[in-house]
């Protein structure tokens, strides 16, 4: 995979945002804010940071990505389409019956999706399992996981963080999409999660 420059990443993110808005408008449902806030990070992962190959989505040495905040799936889907995992025309089928692009990632249906997600709080635990499996296989691939800041209110996130530390899972890179919002309002007003950096 060719690593994009900073200017190229900006343009890719811009194009991804346009597609996300088109997808959500066609579907007449979905999570606009959570998808758009994740776009820059997901673009950077897929077009500069992660080792992956759209021609060989089961490549054992690939880095894995878990979108724990599964409602941001449109951002993941655009990255996968722009990477060549499936034709961009599929983006128009978001949330339609029979589509490979449902409201949350489904690894059984979506080419390139490394994990099914949707129930908030479970992604870091999934990433732990992937990292442990890779370690047992002697595979040095990284596992990237994106969580939402509102999702950090879930106790399972912190159990998974303790588990990752206990088992010294240094190949997990957890990223918090700290947009300050959740479906019920501002994270700080619903249940504050600060100080995130120290935690």
For 144, the token pair is 């990237």
Query: Is 43 within a domain?
Result: yes
> CATH number for the domain including 120?
3.40.50.970
CA angle 146, 148, 153 (to 5 degrees): 125
166-181 average pLDDT score: 94
Model pLDDT for residues 17-64, shown as the tens digit of each residue? 999 999 999 999 999 999 999 999 999 999 999 999 999 999 999 999
Please count the structural domains in the chain.
1
What does the pLDDT read at residue 2?
78
What does the pLDDT read at residue 197?
87
Which 8-state DSSP code applies to residue 66?
E
Please report which confidence band the pLDDT of residue 198 belongs to, taking 50, 70 and 90 as the band edges.
confident
Say whether 71 sits in a helix, a strand or coil.
Answer: helix
Domain containing 78: what range? 6-191
Model pLDDT for residues 103-129, shown as the tens digit of each residue? 999 999 999 999 999 899 999 999 999
Query: Is 164 within a domain?
Result: yes
Query: Is 197 within a domain?
Result: no
Which 8-state DSSP code applies to residue 20?
H
Query: Is 145 within a domain?
Result: yes
Query: Is 14 within a domain?
Result: yes
Query: Is 45 within a domain?
Result: yes
Calpha distance 49→66 (Å, rounded):
15
Q: Are 91 and 23 in contact (CB under 8 A)?
A: yes
Query: Is 1 within a domain?
Result: no
What does the pLDDT read at residue 130?
98
Calpha distance 195→180 (Å, rounded):
13
Q: Is the pTM of this model over 0.75?
A: yes
Query: Is 198 within a domain?
Result: no
140-156 average pLDDT score: 96
Percent pLDDT > 70 in the chain is 100
Model pLDDT for residues 68-89, shown as the tens digit of each residue? 999 999 999 999 999 999 999 9
């Amino acid at each position: 995979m060719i690593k994009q420059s900073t200017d190229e990443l900006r343009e890719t993110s811009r194009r991804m945002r346009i597609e996300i808005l088109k997808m959500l408008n066609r579907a007449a449902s979905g999570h606009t804010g959570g998808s758009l806030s994740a776009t820059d990070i997901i673009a950077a992962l897929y077009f500069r940071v992660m080792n992956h190959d759209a021609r060989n989505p089961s490549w054992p040495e690939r880095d894995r990505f878990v979108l724990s905040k599964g409602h941001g799936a449109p951002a993941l889907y655009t990255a996968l389409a722009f990477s060549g995992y499936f034709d961009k025309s599929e983006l128009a089928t978001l949330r339609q019956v029979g589509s490979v692009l449902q409201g949350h990632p489904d690894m059984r249906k979506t080419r390139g999706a490394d994990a099914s997600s949707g129930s908030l709080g479970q992604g870091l635990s999934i990433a732990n399992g992937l990292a442990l499996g890779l370690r047992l296989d002697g595979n040095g691939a990284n596992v990237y996981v994106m969580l939402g800041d509102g999702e950090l209110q879930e106790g399972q996130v912190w159990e998974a963080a303790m588990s990752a530390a206990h088992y010294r899972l240094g190949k997990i890179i957890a990223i918090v999409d700290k947009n300050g919002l959740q479906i019920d309002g501002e994270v700080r007003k619903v249940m504050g999660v600060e100080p995130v950096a120290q935690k």
